[in-house]
Chains A and B, each alone.
Chain A
Amino acid sequence: MTTSIDASLPGSQSTAAYRWLAFAPLPYILPAMLWTLLFFAAPFVAMLLMSLWQLSGPGLDTTPTLANYAQFFNNPAYFQAMVNSAEVTAIVTVVSILLAYPFAWILAERVPERWQRLALALAVLPFWTSYVVRSYAWLLVLGERGIVNQTLLGLHILSQPIQLANTRFATVVGFVHFFVMLLTLTIYANLKQLSPSYRKAAADLGANPVQVFWHVVLPLTLSGIMVGAFLTIVLAIGDYITPQVLGGNNELLMPQLIMLQIGRRGDFPLASALSILLMIVVTLVYLAMARWLKLERA
């Protein structure tokens, strides 16, 4: 197309057409840009500005200050919330990957093709119920009189119930229940895109099944793992419901700390600063994982 313009238009006219062409895609991307500006950039700027203000009586003191950020670093309880969030998110992500990969592999490789769609639909079926209800259901399952404790007591593995609910363990279980399915979907998609000829070629060259998996399948499905892992990190580190319902407030995570600022006192400046800090952490994670997060593979 460029060649035909160059050929038909002399000198400056050709350059002008070139410039015009540069803007040709604009109408197509404008809706997405507007959407991003309206629902991401503008709220982000508003939150950033708010984080530099301070709650003052019934109103706000709009003199810019970093006092809210200083509070985070000076108050050990606040900083600990970030540490707790990072720890829980890391555990959830690793456990979810370890469980999701074999599940996705079974779905992609062992379940007959005609049953795979049904299996996938069944896998996500529980997520059509309310997230809050699911969390409370886990609370009942993990409670002292829940099925887990009662089974362990019935089998004489335990002599008395142990505390499973209202612990970090319960929070991790609630998260993993959700994110295993999410990771299964992204890994499954990757496995299905993987041509069998790669494995055959590796086997022909003398690789045993473990070597085929380790040197061929795993590297080629790493992008699916990383996409799922990144989604897991973003959603888990910002989730309020699961730690609130299942963790029993025996430790505070960042979303709980943020909500605490809003609930009674309505301290949106401090809540905004804490949210910005959380976003910075997520951005750092993104940068660390960026090389695997390209959605297409060249």
Chain B
Amino acid sequence: MARLTKTTSGKGVIAAAITAALLGTAPFGINTASAEDTLNALIWCDHNDPNLLKPFEDANKVKVNIKEFEGTGAGMAILDQSKPGDWDVMVIDSVDVHRGVEKNLFEPLPEAELPFADMFPEVKMDDATIIGGKRYSITEKFGYNTISFNSSKVDVKDMTKMSILWDPKYKGRMALYDYYLPVIGMVAMGIGKKTSELTEADLPAIKEKVALIKANSKLTGEVAASQTALATGEVDILVGGGEWVTAGLHKDNAALDFTIPDEGGVLWAQSLAMFAASKNKPLALKFIQYVMSPEGQARLATSSCYWGMPSNRKAALNDDQKKLLRFAEQPAYLKRAQRYPAPSADLDKKMQDMWTSVLQAK
């Protein structure tokens, strides 16, 4: 075939346009900070809020260099790719602290220098955070995976029973939070099982109910998607939601609410841990102390990413904020709450596969 005639096709424009279009698909993040006046923190999105970090940075004249992640597995992967000493502190599920300790990642915390006496006793979670007699993390925030709903669209009484989730009454009006552990925990509580005693033998019964919930649900979404679905009226109920979904949305829509059913809610708790290889342990401890202080706790509890209960009872929240978080009702909630299932690696894999097959079912 003859060589094609070169025309004024604007090749440069096309190349630039294709490059720009392709670049648009891939966010790039470069982490360069490692100076002594920098605290390197592996965090969840609620810590990525200037309202939380700036007062600490200003008071200590330091920069908090953050990297956000979701899920303990993803956090561990970041650590596997980092050099010891790259990071100073980490946010981690309280029930997963042992995973970091098994890898010798964490430094024991000086209990006397932290406000353990001011914390809700139920969220200290000594059995999960004290290993070999040493305390490796402090619970900074907690809440419940339970039922969030639009009170103007549903019968609030229905929301007090977990079984409503697999009842077809609200079919097509529900969303399911995309994390198998709390959903399995909720279903387990709904069928009268303890989250801490689940075995493989329980999975068929749980799968049956999860499949019904999935069939009732319009979508299964992570935090932002499920929150958006509830906020935009796409759905009226979020299975696995809680104060972390509705408290922040309340100012826009006062009808968005949550409840703890009679069977209770699944307690989630996030911890702060310090790395054993941190090159800046005094600053790391200062950060943990700040986050656990009444001021830091209030700022963390009302973070722009998601709200949650501060684990320090002295958190400097105003009355409205306390009301939204149901501060006064916490003792009763905590009494009924059960922890996330903490399965063995093998059972965890089976739970995840069960979840996969439910999501994949047509």
Contact = CB atoms under 8 A, between A and B. Distances in A.
B162 interface: no
Contacts of B10: 116-117, 120, 192
Contact of B70 (A121, A261, A263): A263
Contacts of B4: 193-195, 297
Interface residues of A, number: 64
A136 interface: yes
Interface in B21-41: 21-22, 24-25, 27
A33 interface: no
A265 B352 contact: yes
A188 B73 contact: no
Contacts of B102: 57-58
Contacts of B234: 143-145, 165-166
B352 A121 contact: no
A249 B73 contact: no
B328 interface: no
B142 to A, nearest CB: 18
A189 interface: yes
B14 A166 contact: no
Contacts of B82: none
Contacts of A130: 24, 27
Contact of A163 (B6, B9, B14, B218): B218
Interface string B122-145: 000000000000000000000000
Interface string B210-250: 00000000111110110011001110000000000000000
Nearest to A57: B345
Contacts of B17: 120-121, 123-124, 185
Contacts of A143: 232, 234
B13 A249 contact: no
A250 B7 contact: no
Interface in A113-138: 113, 116-117, 120-121, 123-124, 127-132, 136
A252 B173 CA distance: 21
A249 B228 contact: no
Lowest 3 CB-CB distances: which A-B pairs, in order? A266-B73, A248-B219, A192-B9
Interface stretch (B57-65, B262-270, B353-361): B353-361
A110 interface: no
Contact of A182 (B1, B18, B349, B360): B18
B90 to A, nearest CB: 14
16 contacts: A55-B345, A58-B102, A77-B360, A121-B13, A123-B17, A124-B17, A124-B20, A144-B232, A145-B234, A163-B172, A185-B21, A189-B9, A195-B5, A251-B359, A260-B352, A267-B349
A121 B15 CA distance: 11
B359 A252 contact: yes
B11 interface: yes
Interface in A46-79: 55-58, 75-78
B194 interface: no
Interface in B159-218: 172, 178-179, 181, 218
A260 B180 CA distance: 10
B72 A264 contact: yes
A218 interface: no
B24 A185 contact: no
A262 interface: yes
Interface residues of B, number: 56
A192 B8 CA distance: 8
A14 interface: no
Contact of A265 (B5, B228, B348, B359): B348
A290 to B, nearest CB: 17
B82 to A, nearest CB: 14
A117 to B, nearest CB: 5
B34 to A, nearest CB: 23
A279 B161 CA distance: 47
B112 interface: no
B71 interface: yes
B20 A127 contact: yes
Interface string B290-326: 0000000000000000000000000000000000000
Nearest to A134: B24
Given A143-B234, A185-B21, A249-B221, A58 B353 contact: no
Contacts of A244: 222, 225
A17 to B, nearest CB: 32
A248 B70 contact: no
B74 interface: yes
Nearest to A123: B17
A231 to B, nearest CB: 8
A265 to B, nearest CB: 5
**Interface core residue of B17, B27, B178, B345 (most chain A CB under 10 Å):** B17
B332 interface: no
A268 interface: yes
Contacts of A166: 218-219, 221, 229, 234
Contacts of B233: 144-145
A24 interface: no
Contact of B224 (A136, A189, A239, A268): A136
Contacts of B20: 124, 127-128
Contacts of B218: 163, 166, 248
B99 interface: yes
B76 interface: yes
A76 B357 CA distance: 8
Nearest to B346: A57
B232 A264 contact: no
A139 B77 contact: no
